[in-house]
Structure 1
Amino acid sequence: MFVLGIIARLVYLQIVKYDFYYNISLNQSSKEFTIVQNRAVVTDRNGVVIAKNKKVASLYTFSKQIDDPKSLIAEMRSKGILLSKKTTQKILNQEGFVWIKRGVDIDTAEYFSKKYKSVGYIVDEGRYYPYNNLFSQIVGFVGVDNQGLYGVEKLYDEDLKGEEISIIALKDSTGKYILFHDKEEIIAKERSFSITIDKNMQMIAELSLMEGVQEFGADKGIAIGMDVKNGDILFAVTYPGFDANRFSNYSQDLWKNYSTFYLFEPGSIMKPFTFIYLLEHDMINLDEKIFCENGKYDIYNHTIKDVHPYGTLTAADVLVKSSNIGTIKLNSRIQAKDFYEYLKSLGFGSATQVLGSGEESGLLRIYKKWSGLSQPSISIGQEILVTPIQIVRLYAAIANGGYLFVPKFVKSNEKPLATKVFGEKSLSVVRPLLREVVERGTATTAKSEYVPIAGKTGTAQKFDKRLGRYSNTEYTASFAGYFPYDDPKVSMVVIYENPKKSIYGGTTAAVTFKKIAEQVAVLLGYKIKHLRIKNVG
């Protein structure tokens, strides 16, 4: 059948279409080009279309036929069609076939086509993102030829791209250019490609994050939520973002999916991992007393401070109250090599292999290059760089019984990939402690009367490369956790960069975490008897 198809095509081109293509070859004002149609739509996890195709026009001209190039350019400008310098120069120099503008609305194209015999257009497909900013850092965008340039649109361009159609423009007997396809118009069943994001959860996270950035005076906000049972990313938002329909109007820094590309020192959201190790190896008794030096502790010619000047705390309260000094003292029981290998087994310093996004790997230097201060610093979340997605999947592992999933932004029929990294022995102790953090520790602002939340606050000074030391004015505030505590469904991380109102994760990120968690829990069917609904009327 394949050979017969080739023979039939050759007969069609060489005999049936011979005169047509011969005449084209003699015509000096013809042009062959390619367009792509029927790119697959992108949907959220529930089938809501978040990237689709729309009919647009692509204006072209055989510029040698233009009587007054300057008038044409001026009128196009008056109609809102702004030409690049390169295109303008080609028209002025009358260089032959020129693409004037892609993605023009059809009525405008029709107007110029009727007024100027040298101008024509084809009905093409452009990409349209109906939710503007909402999915832009995940889905990305396409170029003028409907080719993926960023995000899922680029990573999965082979799966998404449509069929190429060759078109020839030829001047007819009246001097007007007409178009010929090398095949009949494609009538294809709409194809779809699904991501794991839930549109409603994404909207909740975006609105909550926007309010938080404004309320706390932060430079940036990031929120990411994961299904703890399979690694699906349910929402991932960075504010401020960009409108994918007008991506070229924004700084490229805003294009990034910061849930996978944002590198930060995690601060105290690292502390539970020290406790898990100690519990797994029978190196800690939660009732033992740890002297926290009344808030100041000199080690390796460096002073470690606690926010509050604690005297003696139980080992349990070292975590609940987030004592840096107590954590460092407890972590000193672990050999450097063992601590390094443990952190590597949790994925620190390595890519998560996330499906559907690029990512940073973070930074964890090999223990042989550590200074005396390195291990104490790492235990409290300094001298290590992580990404939000690395943290959210580790808190998912705390919630789900110890399984570290490969995260996914795109839906897959394959069995979720996971590695067992924590034992139930340690988790059965740490989980109640993370609940205590919310009940009476550093994250009481995350305490909800509607959905039980467990987690850990983080506040970290940012390292100033210019000064070669930690900044006294720039901080990263965070809260990482999961909910509902009694039946975990979602792990989440909320991060604020340089919040001005308060530098602490407990008074910034934890507030937003709670706001998102309460609303997402409703969507998940969690039995909430009463829930405040903000009046937006």
Structure 2
Amino acid sequence: MSKFKSEKVLPRYLAVAVLLTLIGVAVIVKAGYTMTAKKSYWETVANRQKSDSDSVRPNRGNILSCDGQLLASSIPEYKIFMDYQAGGNADTVWVRKRDSIWYADLDSLCRGLNVIFPERSAEEFKARLEEGKHKIMRNGSEGARHWAVWPKRISYNTYCEVKQLPFFNLPSNKGGFHAESFETRRRPFGSLAERTIGDIRSFEGGKDTARFGIELSYDSLLRGKYGIERKQKVLNKVVPFTLTPAVDGTDVVTTIDVGMQDLAEQALIEGLKKWDASMGVTILMEVKTGDIKAIVNMRRAENGQYYERFNDAISYRCEPGSVFKVASFLVALDDGVVDTSYVIHTGCGILNMHGAKMKDHNWHRGGYGDINVARALEVSSNIGVSYVIDHYYGSNPRKYVEGLYRVGIGQDLKLPIVGYLPPKIRMPDTKTSNRALYWSKTTLPWMSIGYETQIAPINTVTFYNAIANNGKMMRPRFVKGFMREGQMIAETQPEVIKEQIAKPSTIKTMQTVLRHVVSQGLGKKAGSHSFQVSGKTGTAQVAKAGGYKTGTTEYWLSFCGYFPSDNPQYTCIVCIKKMGLPASGGLMSGGIFHHISEGVMAKSLKLSVTDARDSTSVLIPSVLKGDNNAAGYVLRQLGVNTSKVSMASVDVKAGKMPDVTGMGARDAVYQLERLGVKVKLSGKGFVARQSIAPGTTLQTGMSCMLELK
């Protein structure tokens, strides 16, 4: 065995190691150079590469109203570009021909673009196109690869017009004209229920993203599934072959009623303008099913107009105010601690509650004195409600809060719409470092009248809807079902959250009280002369910028109720937010509620033709003198039994003048001329007088003047 000679081997290893290190460094340097200095060049090369298969985009599903009207649908839009290096840059026959066609057609091309897009002149288009043609790219080549011809998206019809222009009508791989397609959602009814329906945002490359509302919540169904298409070259033509067909998106059928939605929007906007409010919310719910027939969210913009910007109906949690008092008394009545006859001493309208002053809204007029529980709700007495709750639940506030959850006002509705926020009702004896959640002695009385809680309008209307529905609480339903190719493939069923939120007797008692709130309490403005309304008003102060004393005070005004009271069909809540006085939930929100309820009942009123018949009227017609045979024929065709019809006959005696007074002109002329009497008429209507007296002996050539009136 030969001896290992380190003086020869080690230098060789060292040389190999140095060589490999240099190669590694060179690879890293080259990679860095490619990733930085040559980045744009290789991106251009990559863009030129065509895959042998492409994805096929499906059509996005439509969103429909409850009666099948189109609320949202997809239409294609395009951005148009020029690739000035299409067909190559080498000095070939085609490139020279392409350039000659370009300069020959450029002027007519620009004039055509000016006709389609009059906002820009032909000269401006020419300058723009020339700029792109002579642009020097980073790799040193001349001519932009993706030069925008027009900065905005255009419709399909406009795209077809542009594609017919000179030079643009050449194949894209030769002329260079090409387009990017985008899917744009269009709502035929404009901004109607905009935040609930939702929207999608399209990005470069044709990608789209659902943003909010039903579009986002049901995006996986609406989007559909992409297909795969393979391209093969056949006889010098690229022919696409479908490998996997695209599956179009499913249509979503909502519970929204277009007519009711439009009515609610108009009523709310008019009310917001009238009372100079900054924000408003309206929800209309069908009692038996929980279907949301209308949902409106309006905020005032800087230009003074109102738009839907946020889905406040499901996400704006705030102190609900006096509409919460119904939940407080429902707990007390259901627990049996009081009944509606229980008398409360409200005094002069001011009561000391654990060191803080509780006031009724009429304290400056001397208060309500002694009132019972039912009257306390009718006049919305703060003292009446807070005294009962503090007196009977002060030693065990947890029982009261658990009662609120039991009656459903604190229920997490688990809505399918993205953005929903469940109620925040604090629980006593909860360990927390958040001072806003501390439980103090004043928490219970102020919570009982709608403060120190955070509840969105959708929870309030769901609670009142349960009272209207005899205690059965329904989950708000926004979607009725799903359709494909015009056929319903799945339906969502109304869902019961709670079978009974309180004892049936308690519910009946509360229904009576809520009816009295409108008929003889503070909710009179919400009532109607055509049907009975039940509900409750609410007015809450909202502190801004420094608190109630130092800052500006806003008011959250609401009315929540149902109609008609004897057979509830719909539950509705109207909330508005305004700054400064006057501020009245009954007057302002109740007034808007009045317009919505009357409009909804008028639209849903459907009468049979038989309902319009007066039962006291005579249905058998009386027939005047005339041609009885003709009259009988007409009556029989109308289905009238002629045997019961009294038809006046004309007494015609041979050679005598008949009495034709009371007859129509046509019948009178017929009767006289058949007897050989010539007739002259004056006036219009029925025969009032005749110049030849009845019974006169007729002679040849006689003439009779008939006066009609």
TM-score range, shorter chain: 0.7 to 0.9
1:441 aligns with 2:521: yes
Q: Which residue of 2 aligns with 1:109?
A: 159
1:289 aligns with 2:347: no
Alignment of 1:304-453 (within 5 A): 304-308=358-362, 309-332=367-390, 333-334=392-393, 335-348=396-409, 351-368=412-429, 369-411=438-480, 412-419=491-498, 420-453=500-533
Q: Which residue of 2 aligns with 1:535?
A: none
Corresponding residue SS for 1:376: helix
Alignment of 1:11-90 (within 5 A): 29-30=48-49, 34=55, 36-62=57-83, 79=119
On the 8 A contact 2:327/2:409 being kept in 1, the answer is no
Q: Post-superposition shift, 1:34?
A: 5.0
Q: Which residue of 1 aligns with 2:328?
A: 274
Return the alpha-carbon distance in structure 1 between the equivalents of residues 521 and 214 of structure 2: 40
On the 8 A contact 2:475/2:494 being kept in 1, the answer is no
On the 8 A contact 1:217/1:500 being kept in 2, the answer is no
Q: Post-superposition shift, 1:510?
A: 0.3
Q: Which string of whole-angstrom CA distances, capped at 9 and with x for unpartnered residues, describes residues 446-485 of structure 1?
A: 1200121100000000033643769663100000111110
Q: Which string of whole-angstrom CA distances, capped at 9 and with x for unpartnered residues, describes residues 173-198 of structure 1?
A: xxxxx997553998988952111111
Q: Which residue of 1 aligns with 2:486?
A: none
Corresponding residue SS for 2:454: coil
Counting matched residue pairs gives 485
Return the alpha-carbon distance in structure 2 between the equivalents of residues 30 and 127 of structure 1: 31
Q: Post-superposition shift, 1:500?
A: 5.6
Q: Post-superposition shift, 1:167?
A: 7.7
Alignment of 1:385-534 (within 5 A): 385-411=454-480, 412-419=491-498, 420-464=500-544, 466-467=546-547, 473-498=553-578, 502-525=582-605
Return the alpha-carbon distance in structure 1 between the equivalents of residues 462 and 472 of structure 2: 9
Corresponding residue SS for 1:366: coil
Return the alpha-carbon distance in structure 2 between the equivalents of residues 425 and 432 of structure 1: 11
Return the alpha-carbon distance in structure 2 between the equivalents of residues 135 and 180 of structure 1: 44
Q: Which string of whole-angstrom CA distances, capped at 9 and with x for unpartnered residues, describes residues 216-253 of structure 1?
A: 111011100111212211110112489xxxxxx9x9x9
- Give the TM-score normalised by the residue count of structure 1: 0.79
On the 8 A contact 1:34/1:166 being kept in 2, the answer is yes
Given the superposition, is the C-alpha separation of residues 149 and 77 from structure 1 closer, same or farther in structure 2, using an over 3 Å criterion?
farther
Corresponding residue SS for 2:455: coil
Return the alpha-carbon distance in structure 2 between the equivalents of residues 372 and 344 of structure 1: 21
Task: Kindly indicate whether structure 1 or structure 2 has the higher relative contact order, using CA contacts under 8 Å at least 6 residues apart.
Answer: 1
Return the alpha-carbon distance in structure 2 between the equivalents of residues 133 and 472 of structure 1: 32
Given the superposition, is the C-alpha separation of residues 204 and 484 from structure 1 closer, same or farther in structure 2, using an over 3 Å criterion?
same
On the 8 A contact 1:457/1:478 being kept in 2, the answer is yes
1:199 aligns with 2:258: yes
Task: Report the AA paired with residue 447 of structure 1.
Answer: G
Given the superposition, is the C-alpha separation of residues 407 and 472 from structure 1 closer, same or farther in structure 2, using an over 3 Å criterion?
same
Q: Which runs of 5+ in 2 are unaligned?
A: 1-44, 87-98, 104-108, 121-130, 138-142, 169-174, 430-437, 481-490, 613-709
Given the superposition, is the C-alpha separation of residues 465 and 28 from structure 1 closer, same or farther in structure 2, using an over 3 Å criterion?
closer
Given the superposition, is the C-alpha separation of residues 437 and 402 from structure 1 closer, same or farther in structure 2, using an over 3 Å criterion?
same
Task: Report the AA paired with residue 405 of structure 1.
Answer: M
Return the alpha-carbon distance in structure 1 between the equivalents of residues 81 and 494 of structure 2: 49
Q: Which residue of 1 aligns with 2:281?
A: 222
On the 8 A contact 2:271/2:592 being kept in 1, the answer is yes
Return the alpha-carbon distance in structure 1 between the equivalents of residues 463 and 509 of structure 2: 16
Return the alpha-carbon distance in structure 2 between the equivalents of residues 233 and 522 of structure 1: 19
1:159 aligns with 2:239: no
Return the alpha-carbon distance in structure 1 between the equivalents of residues 355 and 552 of structure 2: 19
Return the alpha-carbon distance in structure 2 between the equivalents of residues 475 and 289 of structure 1: 30
- Give the TM-score normalised by the residue count of structure 2: 0.61
Given the superposition, is the C-alpha separation of residues 436 and 140 from structure 1 closer, same or farther in structure 2, using an over 3 Å criterion?
same
Given the superposition, is the C-alpha separation of residues 456 and 231 from structure 1 closer, same or farther in structure 2, using an over 3 Å criterion?
same
Task: Report the AA paired with residue 555 of structure 2.
Answer: Y
Report which of the two structures shows the higher radius of gyration computed on alpha carbons: 2
Q: Which residue of 2 aligns with 1:127?
A: 185
On the 8 A contact 2:217/2:416 being kept in 1, the answer is no
Report the more deviating stretch, 53-62 or 128-137. 53-62
Q: Which runs of 5+ in 1 are unaligned?
A: 1-25, 81-88, 171-177, 243-248, 531-537
On the 8 A contact 1:31/1:169 being kept in 2, the answer is no
Q: Post-superposition shift, 1:57?
A: 2.8
On the 8 A contact 1:451/1:521 being kept in 2, the answer is no
Given the superposition, is the C-alpha separation of residues 348 and 287 from structure 1 closer, same or farther in structure 2, using an over 3 Å criterion?
closer
Return the alpha-carbon distance in structure 2 between the equivalents of residues 267 and 446 of structure 1: 17
Q: Which residue of 2 aligns with 1:149?
A: 211
Q: Which string of whole-angstrom CA distances, capped at 9 and with x for unpartnered residues, describes residues 351-386 of structure 1?
A: 311134430123212212411111101100011110
Give the one of 288, 291, 315 matched to 1:232: 291
Q: Post-superposition shift, 1:166?
A: 6.2
Task: Report the AA paired with residue 498 of structure 1.
Answer: K
On the 8 A contact 1:138/1:357 being kept in 2, the answer is no
Return the alpha-carbon distance in structure 2 between the equivalents of residues 418 and 265 of structure 1: 24
Alignment of 1:236-247 (within 5 A): 236-240=295-299
Corresponding residue SS for 1:278: helix
On the 8 A contact 1:140/1:149 being kept in 2, the answer is yes
Task: Report the AA paired with residue 29 of structure 1.
Answer: R
How high is the sequence identity, in percent, across the aligned residues?
A: 25
